[in-house]
Structure 1
Amino acid sequence: MSVWDGIVGQRQTVALLSELAAGDPKRLAQSWLVCGPPGSGRSNMARAFAAALECPDHGCGVCDTCRHVLAGTHPDVTVLATDRVTIGIDQVRDLIATSEQTPSTAPWRVIIVEDVDRMLERTTNVLLKEIEEPSEHTIWMLCAPSAQDVLPTIRSRCRIVNLAVPSNAAVADFLVDSMGADRHVANRAARLAEGHIGVARLYAGDDQVMADRDELVVGVLNLAKASDAVLLAGSLIDNANAQAREDVERKVAAEEADFRRVNGLGEKDRIPPALRGAFNAIGKKEEIRRRTTRRSRDVLDRALNSVASVYRDVAVLQNNAEDAVGLINLENRAAITELSVRLNRAGAVARLEAIGTARRRLLGNGNPALVFEALFCALIP
C-alpha cells in the first residue's frame, strides 16, 4: 500500500514524483504546477505528492503522516479549495502568511491551491513573489486544467507536471477496486465519464444520476420542435437543482457532525455559546444558497459534456472512425447513426460550437433556463 494507490492512469508521473520525494531535498523544486483536464486527479496527485514528501518512508500510505495528509488534517499541509467562482485575494494573503511559518512536525510546509485558474490577475500578482521565492521550508503546489490557464508569470516560475486522461479500462478497474462496483456498471460508468474519475464514481455509485444522464441524451436525440427544447431544458434545470440541494445538504450535515466530533460533542448535545457562532456559520442560509448555486452549475456543466458526447459520436460515425476511437453513447447507437445521416459534417460542428457558446454563457452567469432553451433550440435538426 502507498499514497499513490488512489492515483488512476498516471504511472509515469507517479514514478517521477515518488523518485523525487525520496531524493535529495536540496534538488527539489519548491513551486509546482500540476495540470490535467477535469477529473484527471490533479488535486489527488498533489495530495499524494505532499504525503510522500512529509512521510518518513516517502509515501507508505499507512503511517499517521500519510493518513492525515490524505485526509486533509495534517498541520503542515494546507489545501485551498473554493466553492466560489473566483479565489479571493484575502484567501491568498492568508495562505502566504501560513507559508512563511516553519513546519511544526514535518520536513516541509506544503501549500496546495486547487483551481488556481480561478484567481483574478490582481490576486495572482499577490501570489507571484511567494511562488518566485518560497520560504526555505515551503513547497507550493498549484493545480489547473492546463498551463495555458495560468498567467505566464506564474507558470514560468513553476515546475510543470502534466497529467494524462486516464483510460476507460484504468478508471473501470479503479471503480471495481475502490468501490466494489459491478464490472459491467464500472465499464459503462468509465465510458460515459470520458476519463473524469469523479464523474465515473458518481455514475457508478448513484443510479439516479445515471438515469438522469440517459434521459438527457434521449431527450437531445428526440428534439424535433421548440416546445421539446423548452420542456427538456426545464427538466434538466429541475434535476440539476435537486442534485445540488441534496449534495449540499449532505455535505453540511457531514461538516456539522465533524464539528461536533472535533469539539467532543455528541449528536444531540447543545452547542456551547462560545462555539455557537462557528457552528451556525456552517449551515448559514446565505452560504448554503451560494454553495447550491455553484453545485447546480457544476451539474449543468456535466450535462453539457453529456450533450457534447452525442455530437462527438455523430462526428465519429460521419468520419468512419468508430473502430479507432469508439462511441461514448453505445446504448443509443441506432439513434445516433440516424442523426449522423440527417446532419452533414458542418451541422455536427455547428452544434458542438453551440454547446461551447452555452458553456461560456453559463460561466458568465447567464440564466440557466434561457441558456439551455436557446441551446436545445439550436440543436433541433
Structure 2
Amino acid sequence: MAVFDDLVGQERAVVTLRRAAAAAADLLTGGRGAGMTHAWLFTGPPGSGREEAARAFAASLFCPDQGCGHCEMCHQVEIGSHPDLEIVRPQGLSYGVKETRRLILRAAGAPTLGRWRVVLFEDADRATEGASNALLKAIEEPPPRTVWLLCAPAPDDMMITIRSRCRLVTLVTPPVPAVAHVLVTRENVPPAVAEFAARAAQGHIERARRLALDEEARRRRDAVLSIPGSLTGVGECVTAAERLVKTADEEAAAVTATLNEAETAELRKIYGEGSSGKGLNKGLIRGGAGALKELEDRQKSRATRTKRDVIDTALLDLVAFYRDVLAVQFGASVALAGEDRRADLDALARSSTPEETLLRIDAIMLCRERLAANVNPQMAVEAMTLSLRRPRP
C-alpha cells in the first residue's frame, strides 16, 4: 500500500502531493522541478489527518519511487527513524524561540542520504511570536535541500508572512462512510461498531479508532453526553463541572505519569545521580538542578496542555449533541452524531426552542475560548454548565 493510501477522503490533496513528489524527483535529476517548493502548510479540521498527510509527503520525497510504502525509506519515515526527517511535536502550551532557533540550526544541515532534509512541524500554530519570527527567517532563506512541512488547523492560525511563503494544502473532514470503511478493513471492527464510531467522532479518524477499540473511551463519551439532561439546578451544574474537570485531571495524569518518570530518571542519570567514585564531578551533579527544574516546567506545561485537550474533546462532544438537538428541532434530514442517544435528543428538542439551543452552543464555544485564554478550567466549565441549565420539570 502506497503512503498516500492512508489519507482517507483527501483525494484532491493527494493529487497535489503526488505531483509535487514527482517534481521533487525531477529537481534532483537536474530538472526544473515545477510544482515543488521548500515550504508547505498543511491545514484542516481536527482529525482530518494533517500530520499524516505531511508524513506521507515526507516519505514520498525520500522514496526513490515517490512513496511506494514498502521500501526502507518509507518504513523509516513511518516509525520516525529516518536520519533526514526532523519531527517536531510541541507538547506544552507553546513552542518558544529558544527551541525554534535550535531547530533551525539542525534543519540547516545537509541531507545525510543525499536527497532532502525535511522538518515536519506539528501544531506549528503553537509557536510564540518570537518563535514565529525566527521561523520566518528560516523559511525566507532556506538551504537548497531543506523542506519545511508546517501543520496548523487553519491558515489564519499562522503569521501572514509565514503562510504567504508556504504552499497551502487544505484537508477536509473525511466522510463517515470512508472512516467506517477504514475501521472495518484495517482494524477488523464490526461494521455496526465502525458506523457508530465514525458517526460519533464526526469524521475524526483517530477519535473514531479510539471509540471503536477502547471501551473506556466510549464510557467517557457517555458520561459527557449525560450532562445536558442532568443540569436542572445550580448544584447539579457545579457538580457536573467538577466531575468533568476531575476526569480531565485524572486522564492527563495517567497519560503523562509514565513519560515524566522516564524523562526524569534519564536526566538524573545523565547528571550522575546515584554514581560514586573519586572521578565523579560533584559540580556536574549540582549543575543538574537547573536542568531538572527546566524539565519539570516542560512536564507541567505538557500536563496542562493534555488536560485542556481532554476537556476540549468533551466540549466538542457537547457541541455535537446540541447541534443534533437543533437538527431535530428543525426536522432536518441529516445524519446525527448522537443517534445512539436519540431519546435524549428528542426530549431536549421538545422542551426547548431553537433559540435556546443556539445560545447553549454559544456557551460551549465561549468556554473553549476562555480555556484557550488560560482561564481557570473549573471556573470556565462552571460558567458553561450554568448557561446550559434546564428548568426543572
Q: Same fold (TM over 0.5)?
A: yes
* 1:204 aligned partner: 212
Matched, 1:366 2:372: no
Picking from 380, 388, 391, the partner of 1:379 is: 388
Q: Which amino acid aligns with 1:355?
A: I
1:169-184 alignment, distance < 5 Å: 169-184=177-192
* 1:243 aligned partner: 251
Picking from 111, 114, 122, the partner of 2:119 is: 111
Gaps of 5+ in 2: 28-32, 267-273
Deviation at 1:144, TM superposition (A): 0.7
* 1:267 aligned partner: none
Whether the 8 Å CA contact 1:48–1:59 is kept in 2: the answer is: yes
Whether the 8 Å CA contact 1:221–1:336 is kept in 2: the answer is: no
Structure 1 202/89 Cα, relative in aligned 2: closer, same or farther at 3 Å?
same
Structure 1 284/112 Cα, relative in aligned 2: closer, same or farther at 3 Å?
closer
Picking from 327, 334, 344, the partner of 2:353 is: 344
1:82-93 alignment, distance < 5 Å: 82-93=90-101
Deviation at 1:145, TM superposition (A): 0.6
Secondary structure of the corresponding residue to residue 22 of structure 1 = helix
Distance in structure 2 (CA, Å) of the matches to 1:296 and 1:177: 32
Which string of whole-angstrom CA distances, capped at 9 and with x for unpartnered residues, describes residues 211-266 of structure 1? 11112111222321111111111221222122222222355578899x8xxxxxxx
Which string of whole-angstrom CA distances, capped at 9 and with x for unpartnered residues, describes residues 26-67 of structure 1? 321111111111111101110110010111111111222111
**Count of residues in correspondence between the two structures:** 369
Distance in structure 1 (CA, Å) of the matches to 2:45 and 2:121: 16
Distance in structure 2 (CA, Å) of the matches to 1:190 and 1:207: 15
Tell me whether 144-153 or 14-23 shows the greater mean CA deviation.
Answer: 14-23
Once superposed, what is the RMSD of the aligned Cα atoms?
A: 2.8
Matched, 1:22 2:22: yes
Gaps of 5+ in 1: 260-269
Picking from 117, 139, 149, the partner of 1:141 is: 149
Deviation at 1:286, TM superposition (A): 5.0
Structure 1 64/335 Cα, relative in aligned 2: closer, same or farther at 3 Å?
same
Which string of whole-angstrom CA distances, capped at 9 and with x for unpartnered residues, describes residues 78-129 of structure 1? 1111111111111211122122211011411111111121122332121112
Secondary structure of the corresponding residue to residue 78 of structure 1 = strand
1:291-310 alignment, distance < 5 Å: 291-310=302-321
Distance in structure 2 (CA, Å) of the matches to 1:75 and 1:348: 52
Which string of whole-angstrom CA distances, capped at 9 and with x for unpartnered residues, describes residues 119-158 of structure 1? 2233212111222232111111111111111121111111
1:1-381 alignment, distance < 5 Å: 1-23=1-23, 24-25=26-27, 26-27=33-34, 28-251=36-259, 287-321=298-332, 323=333, 325-381=334-390
Secondary structure of the corresponding residue to residue 247 of structure 1 = helix
Which string of whole-angstrom CA distances, capped at 9 and with x for unpartnered residues, describes residues 292-320 of structure 1? 22211110000000111111011112222
**Greater Rg over alpha carbons, structure:** 2
The normalised TM-score by structure 1 is 0.89
Whether the 8 Å CA contact 1:96–1:130 is kept in 2: the answer is: yes
Distance in structure 2 (CA, Å) of the matches to 1:62 and 1:230: 53
* 1:265 aligned partner: none
Q: Deviating runs (4+, > 3 A) in structure 1?
A: 249-257, 270-274, 283-290
Whether the 8 Å CA contact 2:92–2:299 is kept in 1: the answer is: no
Deviation at 1:284, TM superposition (A): 6.0
* 2:30 aligned partner: none
Distance in structure 2 (CA, Å) of the matches to 1:284 and 1:161: 35
The normalised TM-score by structure 2 is 0.86
Structure 1 104/271 Cα, relative in aligned 2: closer, same or farther at 3 Å?
farther
Q: Which amino acid aligns with 1:34?
A: F
Distance in structure 2 (CA, Å) of the matches to 1:367 and 1:205: 33
Q: Which amino acid aligns with 1:10?
A: Q
Distance in structure 1 (CA, Å) of the matches to 2:258 and 2:202: 26
Structure 1 158/284 Cα, relative in aligned 2: closer, same or farther at 3 Å?
closer
